[in-house]
Amino acid sequence: MHEGSIVKSLFDIAGKIKEDEKLIEIQKVKVVIGKFHMIVDDVFLMYFDLMKKEYKGFENAELIMEEKDVKVKCKKCNEIFMIEDPIFICPKCESFDTEIIQGNELHIKTMEGMK
Ligand SMILES: [Zn+2]
């Protein structure tokens, strides 16, 4: 259950953006989340809705989640493949020498609000 702490740090960052942009009321928060983080959408959303009441200006904010599939590249044969489970083995040459090239994201993409 790490969703709660991720949502909290998300609000901390969102709060700073809100101040920098001089926004009063936030309507939408769009986040990019790589599937590598194994986040459960419903749990994440539940925490967001629970916590937003504690953050001034976020009471009516809507969360939009953009998920990224985990894409892995084999360093041995350069094969690029998607994975559902965290098993980093190349389907072509069976090497474990791989790296994540997509799916490790976790950040706020855009925020919409009123000044
Ligand atoms: Zn390979």
Per-residue pLDDT tens digits for 17-29: 999 999 999 999 9
pTM of the model: 0.86
What pLDDT, in 10s, does the model give residues 2-18? 899 999 999 999 999 99
What pLDDT, in 10s, does the model give residues 29-50? 999 999 999 999 999 999 999 9
Q: Is 16 helix (H, G, I), strand (E, B) or coil?
A: helix
What pLDDT, in 10s, does the model give residues 94-112? 999 999 999 999 999 999 9
For residue 39, what pLDDT is reported?
92
Give distance in angstroms: CA of 72 to centre of ligand 1: 10
CB within 5 A of ion ligand 1: which residues?
Answer: 74, 76-77, 79, 90, 92-93, 95
Give distance in angstroms: CA of 91 to centre of ligand 1: 7
Whole-angstrom Cα distance, residue 1 to residue 6?
Answer: 10
Assigned CATH class of 3-68+103-114? alpha beta
The structural domains of the chain, with segments of one domain joined by +, span 3-68+103-114
Q: Which residues touch 44 (CB under 8 Å, ≥6 apart)? A: 3, 6, 7, 33, 63, 65
